[in-house]
Structure 1
Amino acid sequence: MEAGLQHMPDISKGYFAIYAGEQEKKRQAVLVSLLSQPMFQELLHEAEEEFGYSHPMGGLTIPCSEDVFADLAYRLGAL
């Protein structure tokens, strides 16, 4: 499993759901501790600019490819 990232239908304690991907959004579970990371906060700001506070997938939608998000989550989990 990549650091800070899980691909699971259920969200475990200490995680929250996000959707990332360009064409097909994939649900992923992210460690809550990543919320305090400046790089992750920048993604949240971009999500706010692109989607506002309306996220039709039912969870937070991140405006980047799944690979870019997985790489970022890995790097943040490894800090």
Structure 2
Amino acid sequence: MAILVSRFIQAKHVLRRSLLNGRSTTSTVIPKGYLAIYVGEQERKRFVVPVSLLSQPSFQELLRQSEEAFGYDHPMGGLTIPCSQDMFTGVASRLGVL
């Protein structure tokens, strides 16, 4: 349990850093257990999130939207989620990542 809590705390810090930077974090190395995703409808912003987010039902709904919009051909070269950044940060916040 303590390991799980520490991973969530670490994920929260990584995501918060990517939000606070206000610029792309493409030059940063993605830690093991995390993945980079691009979020936005027009202008896309890069977030680094824990892989454990993939199993959450609300995040899976965002993945379904991504599949409908892009199939498996993501224009940014990574996983792209076509929702507003506010919506994504709201979902991430409810899941305890923010």
Above 0.5 in TM-score?
A: yes
1:60 Cα deviation (Å)?
0.5
Per the alignment, residue 39 of structure 1 pairs with 58
What is the aligned residue count?
78
Please list the CA deviations of residues 22-66 of structure 1 after superposition, one character each: whole Å capped at 9, or x if unmatched.
Answer: 221011101111111011111111100111000010110001011
Residue 53 of structure 1 corresponds to 72
Partner of 2:12: 3
- Higher mean C-alpha deviation, range 3-12 or range 28-37: 3-12
Runs of 4+ in structure 1 over 4 Å off:
none
Tell me the distance in 2 between the aligned counterparts of 1:54 and 1:66: 21
TM-score after normalising by structure 1: 0.85
Amino acid at match of 1:31: P
Structure 1: runs of 5+ lacking an equivalent = none
Higher relative contact order (CA 8 A, sep 6+): 1
Gaps of 5+ in 2: 1-9, 19-24
Structure with the larger helix share: 2
Shift in CA distance, 17/63, structure 1 to aligned 2, threshold 3 Å: same
Whether the 8 Å contact between 2:39 and 2:80 is mirrored in structure 1 is yes
What TM-score results when the alignment is normalised by the length of structure 2?
0.70
| Higher share of residues assigned strand | 1
